[in-house]
Structure 1
């Protein structure tokens, strides 16, 4: 394919995702009705899903250098799956956001435009064929989230909290540092090898070898910030806690997926097994150990997501041989994590934070279907039935590690899975514990809320999002070959 030839069909997912952001902006400016804005984002997201499936994963790339190969836009099975997941997560987060948006907690047009822009960046990451496109896509995914984390309106007389602004600034500063590190790594690798396109990345040789190795290490570290890998994780728990619940959902799923896809693009082509394995062990171990001590629901889910990222990094330590296992685990995890955050959002008042774990005491008794959804999510994250999707995810990673002779790392994964059982079971049991009887003096305000709070009415958009996530989790649990087939 010549440099002047552009395959427009290959670019359809990008056109659909970027067009969604433009359509949302125009709907807000010209129509100004919430329904039109919501509908534009939903239709655009569904169009992105359809375009990604139509393009498929085996089409030639475009924006290529003369002579073929070295393309900047490369359709692949992973790119197709990532685009579908980004679009569906965006629609799901919008559904979770509607109850709070109805209360005026954020301007609807700006909120949906930023979500659509972030989705467009996620699509670019999957199809990126060179380091520049990859980093631009990653920043396009992340930049709108700086605003969304702190985008909060307060009603007259409502107590103003500094948590969203603090979380936004923390996220911004850490992300800027991580991007600078990734760019420095890309620059060093380019100086040593002269390559920017992913399919031309090669290890350095001779006197340039140390420079190239340093560049690879810095790129891995920079992208590891995005997945909150230890010791690059400290921003995640306070940011999740301070962000609105739907945005915390997006951070723990779509934003993390972007970092995983970026890491996969590097480690599948360059030797980074040692640094990735070290990050994996630290991330899963520290994530699980610290999660054992958490008393706040969102912080527990944040540390849980850090531990889950460690399992994905363990598969990526295998290089190209582990990308499929890592991608499969990532998709399984995104579905279950979305379901867990969705149930938390449904159980809390619109605009409220995640609260203390004690506030959920007896929630499974008051709202049996929400309790069942949370148990499904927690069991899946723990790798237990009935969360078969999570069980298949862990088995896939362990099997890949053993096949490639990394038995010791498979053992660490299995050990950490056992540690994680403690806090997942604790949260699930709390859902069905009997709250204190009304009329008995209770000192803890969270226990008092659990005792006196009636079941909340869950709005239709949230119900639709939860049913969709639960259905996907069940289908993937019974037919994981659907996902594995899409990734090959």
Structure 2
């Protein structure tokens, strides 16, 4: 067999564009040294990455870095969807970062460069075909976020949040690497499809060793950190609250999406569902329950959104947890579970970005999220911003007219029922009812009769809020489109 690797440059185009954006941002900051030009280069590069990802994925699945049947880069419809969503999230975060960057406390060049680096990791993550590429992509996505969290000058809260995030993340990465090493020791495989074929064959006695179960558990536990799943969630509320609001928005959306994509890749293609299914089902139940119950007691806006995002992670993990029961129910049940997880993640990140954009619009430049009382009556003074914020909250709760959130929850429940995990569907439904309490409370606070006068929203933030809300609404009317792409 030839050891020469095949390289498909069209499949690699989105990664080239994302990495090129990071390089161009550095050059623009060095040679031009104007904040507006630097931000414009980052924005244009993100838009070009989204366009390139769409074009590269239009011709069907493409593979690169292949030796025989094993490929390290598999670019299809789902990888294109992930790349486009990451690019749009980066554009949205750049738009809502205007007030923060204009204060002068955050260096613009470094900020845009780190966002572009994180974008590169997200693009690579969607197409990763082996464990090494997957873990490197996750770390490329995560490492810039350590610095972004603590990038504000003279911010003690930001420094504490960055250290917390860094320490816990390093431990999670170590656990993932140990699990991957043990998997390689047991199977001699690194490519995801080859690992899946090895476990499916089940002919080797080594696959029944306790070491194999430990390896699978370590990989799942390490990646569960990225989605802030219980008991790997403690870093999220403190980190979100200490980070600048736009960075908290990126953490809550892009970082969580990256964890979902990584978990989905190893669960769908590499690891045995009979082992991962019960573990993920337990994580899903604990995550959605703890997240919702603790969110009920929150009085700070960002902490409430952080705990609600923990609960949302539980809803995303639920279809993956049903795979053990769906394993004997046919390909359609398994495909439905995978597509439901991806579709829910896409709808969630759009609604979450809209919610954070609204908080940025209603709070002072370079300020934190404040308390719920600080937003009292904000919708009366800024009706359009308040209406978009309320719509995002209602969508996260899964109520009409937030059709995107409603469809996402219905899709998850339907996938669980199809996978004969009715008990898990019941837990999702009960937790969704609990979540109504704090989402509707915050929405009602926006329309309360009195409160402090909110800051005048920046134009770029209002535009980002409008676009994110409009995308969520439009996709709510065409949900099958997301499911079809996610299933590819």
**TM-score normalized by structure 2?**
0.93
Residue 276 (1) aligns with residue 291 (2): no
Aligned partners of 1:129, 1:207: CA distance in 2, in Å?
Answer: 23
Residue number in structure 1 paired with 2:188:
194
Q: Tell me: CA distance 1:42–1:432, structure 2 relative to 1, closer, same or farther (3 Å).
A: same
Structure 1 residue 265 corresponds to structure 2 residue 265: yes
2:472 aligned with 1:473, yes or no? yes
Q: What is the alpha-carbon distance in structure 2 between the residues aligned to residue 138 and residue 409 of structure 1?
A: 29
Give the whole-Å Cα distance in 1 for the aligned partners of 2:184 and 2:211.
9
Q: Which moved more, 1:268-277 or 1:218-227?
A: 268-277
Partner of 2:137: 137
**Equivalent residue for 1:285, pick from 275, 282, 289:** 289
Contact map agreement 1:223 1:259 (CA 8 A) in 2: yes
1:200 match: secondary structure:
helix
CA displacement at 1:59 relative to structure 2: 2.6
Q: Which residue of 2 aligns with 1:174?
A: 168
Distance in structure 2 (CA, Å) of the matches to 1:213 and 1:70: 24
Tell me which residue corresponds to 2:52.
51
1:331 & 1:42 partners in 2: Cα distance?
A: 21
- Aligned pair 1:233/2:233, yes or no? yes
1:39, distance to aligned residue in structure 2 (A) = 1.1
Which runs of structure 2 are paired with 1:364-375 in the superposition (5 Å)?
A: 364-375=379-390
8 Å CA contact 1:284–1:308 kept in 2: the answer is yes
Q: What's 1:41 paired with?
A: 42
Cα drift, residue 216 of structure 1: 1.0
* SS of the residue 2:72 aligns to: strand
Write the mapping of 1:9-48 to structure 2, written as runs, cut at 5 A.
Answer: 9-48=10-49
CA–CA distance in 1 between the matches of 2:42 and 2:485? 25
Equivalence map 1:61-460=2 (5 Å):
61-65=63-67, 67=68, 69-154=69-154, 161-201=155-195, 202-203=198-199, 205-209=204-208, 210-269=210-269, 270=271, 271=273, 272-319=276-323, 320-321=334-335, 322-435=337-450, 450-451=451-452, 453=453, 455-460=454-459
Deviation at 1:317, TM superposition (A): 1.5
For residues 236-256 of structure 1, the C-alpha deviation after alignment (integer angstroms, 9 at most, x for no partner) is 000000000000000000001
Mapped pair 1:60 → 2:62: yes
Give 1:213 deviation, angstroms. 1.8
Q: How far, CA to CA, are the matches of 1:389 and 1:197 in structure 2?
A: 35
* Alpha-carbon separation, structure 2, partners of 1:403 and 1:208: 29
Give the C-alpha shift of residue 484 in structure 1: 2.0
Q: Distance in 1 between matches of 2:9 and 2:418?
A: 40
2: CA distance, partners of 1:339 / 1:257:
15
The answer to whether the Cα contact below 8 Å between 1:189 and 1:213 also exists between their aligned partners in 2 is no
C-alpha distance in 2 between matches for 1:23 and 1:63? 26
Task: Kindly provide the CA deviation profile for residues 51-82 of structure 1, in whole angstroms up to 9, marking residues without a partner as x.
Answer: 111111623311011x3x21001102221111
Aligned match of 1:446: none
Matched residue pairs, number?
464
Distance 1:305 1:126 in 2: 21
State the alpha-carbon separation in 2 of the partners of residues 350 and 394 from structure 1.
Answer: 34
Q: Distance in 1 between matches of 2:74 and 2:419?
A: 27
Q: Alpha-carbon deviation of 1:208?
A: 4.1
Aligned residue for 1:261, secondary structure, equals helix
Query: SS of the counterpart of 1:71?
Result: strand
Question: Displacement of 1:375 after TM fit?
Answer: 0.9
Matched residue SS, 1:153: coil
Quick one: distance in 2 between partners of 1:170 and 1:457? 33
Which consecutive residues of structure 2, in runs of 5 or more, have no partner in the other structure?
324-333
Contact 1:104 1:153 (C-alpha < 8 Å) held by counterparts:
no
Residue 2 of structure 1: CA displacement? 7.1
Contact 2:184 2:190 in 1 (8 A): yes
CA distance in 1, matches of 2:95, 2:265: 31
Shift of 1:100: 1.4
Preserved CA contact (<8 Å) 2:25 2:109: yes
Instruction: Structure 1 unaligned segments of length 5 or more: list them.
Output: 155-160, 436-449
| CA distance in 2 between partners of 1:374 and 1:212 (Å) | 46
Query: RCO (CA 8 Å, sep 6+): is it higher in 1 or 2?
Result: 2
CA displacement 1:360-384 (0-9 Å, x = unmatched) = 1111111111110111111000000
For the 8 Å contact 1:281–1:310, the answer to whether it is kept is yes
